Amino acid sequence: MISNIKLVSIGNFDLKFNHLLIIGILSLAFSVSFLLRAQPADYGFALNEFDPFFNYRATQYVVDNGIPAYFEWDDNKSWYPHGRDVSSTSQVTLHLTAAVTYWIFGGGSDLYDFTILFPAIFGSLSAIIIFALVRVIGGTTAGLFSALLFSVSLPILIRSPIGWFKSEPLGLFFALLSVYLLLSGINSQNKKIAFSKLLGAGIFTTFSISAWGGNQFFVMPLVIFFIALPFLRKDHKFIAWAIPLYTISTIITSLGFERVSSNFLFGMGGILLIFSTLFLLCCIFIQNKSSKNKTRNSLIFLLVILIITPFILVINSESQFLPGASHRYLNALNPFLTTTDPLVDSVSEHATTTLAQSFLFHSVLMIFSGLGIWLIIKNIQKHTINFIKNDMIAFSLILGITGVYVSSTFVRLEVFASVSIILLASLGLTVLTKEFFTNSNSKKSYSKFMQLSFFTGIVILLIIPMIYPVGSETSRIIDIPPTILNGGSSYQIATSDWLDALEWMKNNTPKDAVVASWWDYGYWISTMGERASLADNSTIHTRFIENIAKMLLSDSDTAWNTLNEMQADYLLVFVTGERLNLDAEDSFYTLIGGGDESKKQWFMKIAGYDTSKYLHDDGISGTDYFWDETLLGKTFPFSLSGYVNPNNIQQQSATYVPGMIGIYQKDIKFPSDGDGPLKLVYASSSFTEEKIGPMIGVFIYEINKEYKPIS
């Protein structure tokens, strides 16, 4: 066959045509993946979202001061005046990996530019890692399918575009690498190679969790897999040291990372990993000591454990003798917790995945993954499948079930569903391809035309989700502006409003100034504005965020007192909207688009206030009380003019009518030359230039220290 033709010999290695084919497909997967991730650069070369700005600043600190200094760093620009112990509250591996790779590959480039490219590169390289992982499970064909599917997977692409210097790209890279090393290690025939791979798997498991805490969910299928291994494998002597080696390696490496050791090792994730390893050893011991009914005795032992565990959990809920998990992680395991913490719920990436989103994200892959499960089970029953071992089949099914379950709670966790579905779909496509071509070769009625038709049909099915439905194409969904260029608003535009405001802050406020704002903007303020913030996106002190929400919803005098108690010097608010083209003499605006005007209902829920006092029935339009009595309403430099029907602007009302939207005019309540509690010292250009279209308004108020409250 042409695939076995030897092209060149390099020592003992013979380079064959199939090797070139594999290299070509993997190169294609990397290239397509990188090009899709690079699309946001069309709007501007900038870091994306919020967390990347802190991660960039932390990496800069490592580059400037060295690794030892990083572990001693107490960041005084975060959570003023308390500060932040960075190494115990951050993604340490992300910062260190970025710094080390910059030292090696930076080549004198600007670190900011390097961190913009960093996630796209590691996200694209993950396509090669998943090839290696799936190849261990189902062979080279399945691995190549997985690399191609991974390169265009929408949930993974939207969590790792250019500028997305956050947890997921590197975290997922290390997680897939650790699982590959683990599975490759327990399948290795060479004990020395197996030892090194299992050791590396434990190390990279810790690295993956340190880079992204969400990778703790990769431990779930491993725990279940370890419990199942004694029933799937006969080489008990091997797995009796192989699995403990992996677990011990993970534990020892975890001790070097403060955050991992506290949140994982001494949390539910670490306990479950240790428990499953101990169960495996106990199960092997029982089977070795049993002269007969070995499997039955092990199953009885498992049943006893399953009966006892719920009682332990019930007792623990009262006494808390075992470490618990944060609400975010518990929420992923228990979807019914979704609405119990408004701070978690207020984050858009923590929204519950809808059925429509699942179909958009996975579309035809759902069919292939389901087909893969059916074909695998069917062939197992017929004993005709020989390219996937039983333990690898079990792992694939376990990963598939847990991945889909975990991702059902948070949109952010759809990456786990993607990995699971890609794995199952790749196996399904491989089984389907092998069956078709085996049958076509054994029956003369099948022709090359039929084989070509089959191949063409598969390609069409895989391409359709990328181009249909119109407006939901993968390339279009990924092609969005970096958050700092549109403020995270719903407008597909790129402006300099935020960058200009932060530059003004850096150049026109005292270096020791403290800025109050909603916690969303804390990282931007400390990194680009180079000023201390009261709260930021790490949400370390949720009580402080609650206090800021209460302050913003207080009357002006109470809020002024609170701001001074917080030692704040400036207050930043962000308002988005659109200037309407009404051919009127005055400028009229709608105020909704993703700024504080669209988040205020979350301020109220986090503060624990009744929203009906501040909002009308639509849950977004402010009442007179909101506009006249709260500091937040007064810092929006607009006043309500009336309401109009968005479908017929001739229908207008001076008071709120369900279905109508508010129309506003400019009205600065705290001018720069006033004597009120605040003074507007900066307004971004979208507000001052009064152009028709979207407005991305950033407003900075100086707190008037000379103000005398009436009460």
Over residues 94-145, the pLDDT tens digits come to 999 999 999 999 988 999 999 999 999 999 999 999 999 999 998 998 999 9
The percent of residues above 90 in pLDDT, for the chain, comes to 58
Residue 513 β-bridge partners: none
Residue 235 host element (H or E): none
Question: DSSP 3-state assignment of 642?
Answer: strand
Of 239, 264, 221, nearest in space to 93 by CA: 264
What is the DSSP secondary-structure string of 248-286? Answer: HHHHHHHTT-HHHIIIIITSHHHHHHHHHHHHHHHHHHH
Query: pLDDT value at position 532?
Result: 97
Q: Report DSSP letters for 214-232, one per residue.
A: GGGGGHHHHHHHHHHHHHH
CB 611 within 8 A of CB 532: no
Q: Six-digit token pair at 547? A: 């206090």
Q: Residue 519 pLDDT more than 80?
A: yes
Residues 212-233 have pLDDT tens digits of: 988 888 888 999 999 999 888 8
First to last CA, the chain: 91
| Residues 174, 218 contacting (CB under 8 angstroms) | no
Do residues 175 and 214 touch, judged by C-beta distance below 8 A?
Answer: no
Q: Which residue has the higher pLDDT, 372 or 497?
A: 497
**Predicted confidence band of residue 292 (pLDDT cuts 50, 70, 90):** confident
CB burial string 440-460: b at 16+ within 10 A, e below? beeeeeeeeeeeeebeeebee
Higher per-residue pLDDT: 506 or 3: 506
Element at 47 (helix H, strand E):
none
How many other CB atoms are found less than 10 A from the CB of residue 368?
26
DSSP reduced 3-state for 96: helix
pLDDT tops 90 at residue 554? yes
For residues 434 and 426, give the distance between their C-alpha atoms in angstroms, rounded to a whole number. Answer: 12
Per-residue pLDDT of 368-379, as tens digits, reads: 788 777 777 776
Rg (CA), the chain: 29
Please tell me whether the peptide bond between 677 and the residue prior to it is cis, using omega within 30 degrees of 0: no
Tell whether the model's pLDDT for residue 13 goes beyond 80.
Answer: no
Mean pLDDT, the chain, integer: 86
Q: What is the DSSP letter of 184?
A: H
User: 573 has which bridge partners?
Assistant: 699
Provide the pLDDT for residue 333: 56
- Cβ proximity of 78 and 536 under 8 Å: yes
Query: What's the half-sphere exposure (Cβ side, CA atoms, 13 Å) at 83?
Result: 9
Higher pLDDT, 89 or 405: 89
Q: Region 384-399: what's the mean pLDDT?
A: 80
Taking the C-alpha atoms of residue 252 and residue 254, their distance in angstroms, rounded to an integer, is: 5
Arithmetic mean of pLDDT, 309-320: 59
Q: What is the pLDDT of residue 642?
A: 93
3-state SS class at 607: helix
- The token pair at 293 is 């009914």
pLDDT band at 494 (very low <50, low <70, confident <90, very high): very high
Which has more confidence, 245 or 19?
Answer: 245
Count CB-CB contacts under 10 A for residue 539. Answer: 15
Whether 320 shows a pLDDT value over 80: the answer reads no
Residue 310: exposed, middle, or buried by beta-carbon count in 10 A (0-12, 13-18, 19+)? Answer: exposed
- In which residue are the tokens 């105020």 written? 591
| Location of structure tokens 């009580």 | 543
Is the model more confident about 351 or about 423? Answer: 423
From 56-65, 157-166, 404-413, 610-619, the region with the lowest mean pLDDT: 404-413
Length of the chain: 711
Query: Which is higher by pLDDT, 241 or 2?
Result: 241
Q: Is the pLDDT of residue 704 over 90?
A: yes
Give 436 or 3, the one with higher predicted confidence.
436
Count the Cβ atoms, other than its own, within 10 Å of residue 101. Answer: 16
Average the pLDDT over 690-700 and give the result: 93
Q: Which residue carries 């990993």 as its tokens?
A: 273
Answer yes or no: is pLDDT of 181 > 50.
yes
Tally helices (H) and strands (E) across the chain.
31, 13
Please name the residue that has the structure tokens 């307004």.
683
Q: How do beta strands 514-516 and 693-703 pair? A: unpaired
Please tell me the distance from the alpha carbon of residue 670 to that of residue 679, in angstroms, as a whole number. Answer: 5
Contact 115, 56 (CB under 8 A): yes
Report which secondary-structure segment, H or E, holds 555. none
Of 669, 652, 142, the C-alpha closest to 376 is: 142
Q: Which two tokens stand for residue 601?
A: 């209902």
Between CA 471 and CA 475, with CA 472 as vertex, the angle to 5 degrees is 95
Question: What one-letter code names the amino acid at 60?
Answer: Q
3-state secondary structure 476-519: HHHCCCCHHHHCCCCCCCCCCHHHHHHHHHHHHCCCCCEEECCH
Q: Give the confidence band of 315 by pLDDT, cuts at 50, 70, 90.
A: low
DSSP string across 116-149: HHHHHHHHHHHHHHHHHHHHHHH-HHHHHHHHHH
Token pair recorded at residue 368: 């292939």
Contact 48, 482 (CB under 8 A): yes
The distance between the two most distant Cα atoms of the chain, rounded to a whole number of Å, is 96
SS3 655: coil
DSSP string for residues in 415-434: HHHHHHHHHHHHHHHHHHHH
H or E segment to which residue 350 belongs: none
Angstrom distance (rounded) from CA 590 to CA 665 = 9
Residue 331 clears pLDDT 70, i.e. is over it: no
541 pLDDT more than 80? yes
User: Over pLDDT 70: what percentage of the chain?
Assistant: 83
Give 496's contacts (C-beta < 8 A, 6+ positions apart).
485, 685
Which of 250, 91, 113 minimizes the C-alpha distance to 171?
A: 91
If pLDDT is split at 50, 70 and 90, which confidence band does 2 have? very low
Reduce the DSSP state of residue 447 to 3 states and report it. coil
- Is the omega angle on the peptide bond into residue 81 within 30 degrees of 0, that is, cis? yes
In a 10 Å sphere around its CB, with 0-12 CB exposed, 13-18 middle and 19+ buried, how is residue 492 labelled?
A: exposed
Out of 253-257, 378-382, 545-549, 609-613, pick the least confident: 378-382
Return the pLDDT at 311.
Answer: 60
d(CA 338, CA 30): 36
Q: Can you give the pLDDT at residue 542?
A: 87
Beta strands 638-645; 661-666: pairing state:
antiparallel
DSSP-derived letter for residue 411 is G
Identity of the residue numbered 520: D
Average pLDDT over residues 526-534: 96
The string of pLDDT tens digits covering residues 234-252 is: 888 999 999 999 999 999 9
Q: How confident is the model at residue 14 (pLDDT cuts 50, 70, 90)?
A: low
Structure token pair of residue 580:
């309407």
Bin 13: left if φ > 0, else alpha if -120 < ψ < 50, else beta.
beta
Name the token pair of 427. 């196996």
